[in-house]
Amino acid sequence: MNETALITGASSGIGFELARCFARDGYRLVLVAHYPDGLEAAAGKLQSEFPGCITTLIPCDLSKPEGPEQLYAETNRLGLQIDVLVNDAGFGEYGPFVESDLQKELAMIQLNVASLVHLTKLYLRDMVPRKHGKILQLGSVVSFMPNPLQSIYAATKAFILSFSESIQKELKDTGITVTILCPPETDTNFFEVANMENTAIAQGNLATPQEVAEAGYKGLMSGEARVLPTLKAKAFHAQSALLPDSMLATIMNTMMKEVK
């Protein structure tokens, strides 16, 4: 395999497990995350498990508006052709909207939405003339429903779904595929970062990053439009199609409450 995959949010969780999938199949890896130490630790694990794995580490804060252009400029400077783009980086914030941290939410919108769009635009423009490339966008089961107490996070994931499905149609017959991975709650550091470790949903049956990544990778490689990686994800999606948004909001509000 002489192709290169760029993975944001690659230092842990689903992003790291996706990097493992690519490394296993011989891809060259461009690993991107905010903190250099986390990237170096992730690269060390990959090279230990997959001797000969070629990794390029690019620390980059994609919650800043200048992040995507800096990342794109660096891959160009290094002469890297990106054949697969994985937009995994993202985080959430918990609490009633009137009380939650506005600056954290604006950074979340920048990372989850603006940087995802920006990177998709930059690398897609390179892929289309080659008529070859794949993009994986990390959505969520909350892409399909309102999510009280995580209103901004859910809205960012709804945006990713709408945006990605729109460009899927535009890219028909170009040789480029866009796949949306929509996992349910997963056992990563997401709950800690979002300050929601004590919520009911965080205490439930969590998907593993490995099973989510494996399903997402398989769907990406086969050019699937949307991947619902577990039975719970499929159940959430079916529920969203059957129930009115007001009822879905009530259900999600209960799941988001803190456990006493």
Stretch 187-213: mean pLDDT, rounded?
A: 92
pLDDT beyond 80 at 260: no
178: amino acid identity, one letter: V
Among 256, 14, 15, CA closest to 145? 256
**Given pLDDT bands bounded at 50, 70 and 90, which one contains residue 2?**
confident
Chain mean pLDDT for the chain: 96
pLDDT at 175: 97
Among 227, 221, 217, 178, CA closest to 18? 217
Stretch 108-137: mean pLDDT, rounded?
A: 98
* pLDDT tens digits, 8-63: 999 999 999 999 999 999 999 999 999 999 999 999 999 999 999 999 999 999 99
User: pTM for the complete prediction?
Assistant: 0.96
- Residues 1 and 26: their CA atoms lie apart, in Å, by 5
Domain boundaries, the chain: 4-256
pLDDT at 1: 63
- Residues 41 and 9: their CA atoms lie apart, in Å, by 13
* pLDDT tens digits, 156-196: 999 999 999 999 999 999 999 999 999 999 999 999 998 89
**Quick check: is 153 catalytic?**
yes
- Residues 27 and 223: their CA atoms lie apart, in Å, by 17
- Tell me which of 2.60.120.10, 3.40.50.720, 3.30.465.10, 3.40.50.1220 is the CATH number of domain 4-256: 3.40.50.720
* pLDDT tens digits, 77-94: 999 999 999 999 999 999
* Cβ burial, residue 46 (10 Å; 0-12/13-18/19+): buried
Q: Active-site residue among 27, 94, 123, 153?
A: 153
